[in-house]
Amino acid sequence: MKAVIQRVSQAKVTIDQTTVGEITHGFMILLGIHQEDNESDVEYLVRKISKLRVFEDHEGKMNQSIQEVAGSILSISQFTLYAETKKGNRPSFIEAARPEVAIPLYELFNEKLKSENIPVETGEFGADMQVALTNDGPVTIIIDTRQR
């Protein structure tokens, strides 16, 4: 799994001009699922994200987790994170998990974040989504479970 995690002051996802998910303070996460990912990848990623200390403490240092600042997450499925661009100009997405694998793992990822007492909003898997955000900092972290 690859997660692009952006610390945001606001983020929302819109489908057909209707807002389906919106947060203020927290993380906007783009989640790509590899064809070989499994539940252990979900558990590792949730553990890392829930404990990631990138929010400022009272001294202005990045020292607090999303849980400590009562932040929320906007979680967006993003198969294009597994684009292969070495050959030609048209990306290949052969490494990305098929929907029958990706959807259950994406749903599990969101449920496990919720079980850590983090509010989670989502887009819709496979939909044409418009995502808007204000990156706070900017702070952007990439975690790849294949590189642990």
Could you tell me the maximum CA-CA distance found in the chain, to the nearest angstrom?
A: 50
From the CA atom positions of the chain, what is the Rg in Å? 15
Name the active-site residue from 19, 24, 35, 80: 80
Q: Residue 42 carries which side chain, given as an amino acid letter?
A: V
Q: Is 80 a catalytic residue?
A: yes
Name the active-site residue from 79, 109, 122, 145: 79
Q: What is the DSSP string of 78-116?
A: -GGGG-B-SSSSS-B-TTBPPHHHHHHHHHHHHHHHHHT
Q: Is 109 a catalytic residue?
A: no
Name the active-site residue from 6, 27, 55, 78: 78
Q: Is 134 a catalytic residue?
A: no
Distance CA 34, CA 40 (A): 13
Catalogue the active-site residues: 78-80
